[in-house]
Each structure stands twice: as C-alpha cells, then as structure tokens.
Amino acid sequence: MPTSQGLLFARHIEDRCAQLDRLLGELGYDTLLIHSGRSQMRLFDDQAPPFRAHAAFASWVPLPFVPDCLLEFRAGHKPRLWFVQPKDYWHVAPEPPASWWADALDVAIVADGAEWEACFRRQGVMAVIGRERDLGEHLDGADLNPARLVSGLHEMRTQKTAWERECMAQANDIAAGAHLAAAAAFESDASELEIHLAYVAAARQDQDHLPYNSIVALNENGAVLHYQHRSAWPPEQMRSFLIDAGADRHGYAADVTRTWTQPEHGDFDDLIEAMDRAQLRLCDQVRAGVSFVDLHRQAHLAVAAVLEQAEIVRMSPDAMVESGVSSYFFPHGLGHFIGAQVHDVAGLVDASGKSLPPPSAYPFLRLTRNLEPGNVLTIEPGLYFIPMLLEQLKASAFSAKVDWSQVEALRPFGGIRIEDNVLVTEGDAVNFTRQAFARQAG
C-alpha cells in the first residue's frame, strides 16, 4: 500500500506532468529531456567538487546527489527516469530508487549514460535541459535550454505542491533542531568550527548534503553578510553568534538564520528581541496579493523603528528610509523564493516571464513579484554594524544624527539577522520555521 509521502509524491508528479504537457504543447515540443548533470574535475586535478543535481532535475526526482541520470518526458507517457547505477569498486554505487516514489515514474536502471543516449535520436521536436559540456555531442538539432521553456518550468516551481511543502516543513524541523544544538555549543564557548560540527551532527547531514555553505559567525564576523570562514579557535571574549544554516529533505531546502548573545550583553540582547518582534510582524504581513517590494520597504521601516527606539539614530523611521540611512544598517533584500534551490527561480519576473527588476534604491532585492498562494519565501530582515558602511554614513550629511558612541559599543557584536521560511496561502501565512522551533520546544 502506498505511504502518505508516496501518495503526495505521486500527486506531485501527476500535477507537474499535466502542467508540462500543456507547456510542451504550447511550445511545439514532442519530447523533453532533463539531464541531472556530471561532476567536473578541478583544473589540473583528479578531484571534483561535491556533486549536486541542478534544481530542474531535483524538483522531479528526490535524489539530488546522483549524477548522469536522465528524465525523459513525452506527451501522454509516464515520465521515464534513466537511473545510472555504475558498476564501480572505487566508489559506493547509489542505492536504487525506493518504491514509495519510483512507482510514480517509469524507472530504467542502467550501468552508464551510454544506455540513455538513444533518447536523443527519437523522432520529433526535442528540447533538452542540461549543460552543453555534458550533452553537446548528443544534441543533433535539439534545443538546449530554450528560454521560453526554461521560463515556463521556472514559473511552475513558484507554486509549491503539497509534496514540496511537506519536504520543506520537514527540512525546517531538521534545521530547527540543529540550530538549537549550535546555540548550546555557543553557550559553552565553542569555536566557529566546533559550533558548525555540532550543527551538522545534530542535523545528521554532512556539509556536502546541506543546501548551502553554512554561515557560522562569532562577534564582529556577524557583520560579514556571507561570512565564509570557521575559525577553529574561540575568540578571547564571546559576545554574539549569528548562524545562517539550513537542511535538506529530498532535495528541498530550509534556510534559517538566528542570532544569539551571551547573558551579560543586555543592550545587544534587547536589539535581538526588538528585531525578532519586527520580523514576526513582517511574517504576519505575508499575504496573497502583497507586493514583496512594498513588504521590503516595510522591513526598512521596521529596522528604522528599532534604530530610533534604541536611540542609535535620531531620525523618524520614515526619514531614515526616505534618506537611505536605514540601508547603511540593512543593506540586503528582505528575502527570496525557496524550494529545490535556496535562492529559487522566477523571483524577478512576472508569471508571463516579463522582467521585474529591483528598484534602484534596493538593488540586492531577489524577489519583486506580488505574492501568490503556494509561494514559499524567506523573511530575513537584518541590522548590522558593517565597518565599510558605517564609514560611509559617518562621512554623509546624516552623521550628526547617529549616536556614534553606541555604534562603537555595538560594532564588536557584528549584527543581527532572523530568517524564517513562510508559505503564502489564501489566508494567514504558514511559518514553517516557527512551527518547527515550537515542535522542538515541545
């Protein structure tokens, strides 16, 4: 008897196939092939970076770490997965597809990619999704990554199926437990590397299987938005801890950020609590029909209100936002779509594929659409003390409005970011991340 996750996956495939059949018919294609990709050796080396299938493949097949597989779609036929299970004594071969999901596809297990090459010689008009370096010799007139088809596939992924939503909720459960383990390591004065190891152990996912490279930042390192190092040695004084780390479930991502401080640092803890309240209010504003650009501006007003209430900046929130002062403390976008990619596709176009570039005031915004039911996105306002931006603010016409003694006292704490993954519905939003932390607390 099919399991509940098997039923969800089967419905996911059924719904996506119906959408794809319509799309291929509109564009005049008889066949679509999606290649999972291949590992590529580093230059002058026999080592390759860890492999992960691109999201166009992983959104159909819950095996994001298996290379050189091929999906074959033909209108009116069950999708066929050519699953490559090489005979290899150098590496462990991938496990065969589990029946709970494989039953939704026509699975052919083969020893190498040569056994699916005949797919490229079928009659009819063909489109192919993949890299030319992997498939170029086979294309023979097929359209590689045609723009209108790619745009349509991206648009399909903006509204998550019940299967995808369940995967993302489970990924948040994994991430929430691992975040709490990381916080406990911070409280015991662990180094960035030790905190990271506590996180991956609690998540039971190797770093190569997490959806992105975790940010584990102590003290002033929290002011580096994509901090990429992990010191093996704890700092002389523990002040603050920012962790941006996710988890994977069947190829779908959680993307969660939390900020912590030691008990004796009350002023920074007050800022964290104020930002947490502001972030929750922004999550509550997530609704179908809401412009994410407008919501991003609300985030700037919220961060500005925190700065005003803490008497860090002596300006009204409106004045801070209109003058651009808030951007010195909050320089990135409020959030992005999330799914089979962490920064998921189609955030900067409308449903027809028309470009929706970010406004000039907010060039790093990754999502500019009006929200629709089924969208899953991150809400991640931040408040940072970034030396380069603070120097620019100090040289600006608004320098006298800033309490620089407070700024200097807070600079060693780096910054604050709080990030949740939120599902848009017809009514109230569903906050996967807060629900996951509540379950951990229970």
Q: Would you kindly state where each structural domain of the chain is located, as residue ranges?
A: 4-156, 162-441
For residues 79 and 63, what is the distance between their CA atoms, to the nearest angstrom? 16
pLDDT digits (tens, 9 = 90+) for 57-93: 999 999 999 999 999 999 889 999 999 999 988 988 8
**Domain spanning 162-441: which superfamily?**
Creatinase/methionine aminopeptidase superfamily (3.90.230.10)
Helical ranges in 29-125 per DSSP H: 55-58, 99-102
The Cβ of residue 161 has, within 10 Å, a number of other Cβ atoms equal to 20
pLDDT digits (tens, 9 = 90+) for 117-130: 999 998 899 999 99
* % the chain with pLDDT above 70: 100
Q: Of 41, 20, 37, nearest to 29 (Cα)?
A: 20
CA 396 to chain centre: 35
197 within 8 A of 210, measured Cβ to Cβ = no
Is residue 266 exposed (0-12), middle (13-18) or buried (19+ Cβ within 10 Å)? exposed
Q: Which amino acid is at 303?
A: V
- In angstroms, the Cα distances linking 196 to 184, 191, 202 are 12, 9, 10
For residues 202 and 174, what is the distance between their CA atoms, to the nearest angstrom? 8
pLDDT of residue 1: 46
**Domain spanning 4-156: which superfamily?**
Creatinase/prolidase N-terminal domain (3.40.350.10)
pLDDT of residue 2: 61
Length of the chain: 442
Q: Of 189, 82, 183, nearest to 138 (Cα)?
A: 82
pLDDT digits (tens, 9 = 90+) for 324-383: 999 999 999 999 999 999 999 999 999 999 999 999 999 999 999 999 999 999 999 999
Q: Do domains 4-156 and 162-441 have the same CATH topology?
A: no
323 within 8 A of 336, measured Cβ to Cβ = no
181 within 8 A of 204, measured Cβ to Cβ = no
Element (H, E) at 420: strand 420-423
pLDDT of residue 173: 98
Residue 160 structure tokens: 């998550």
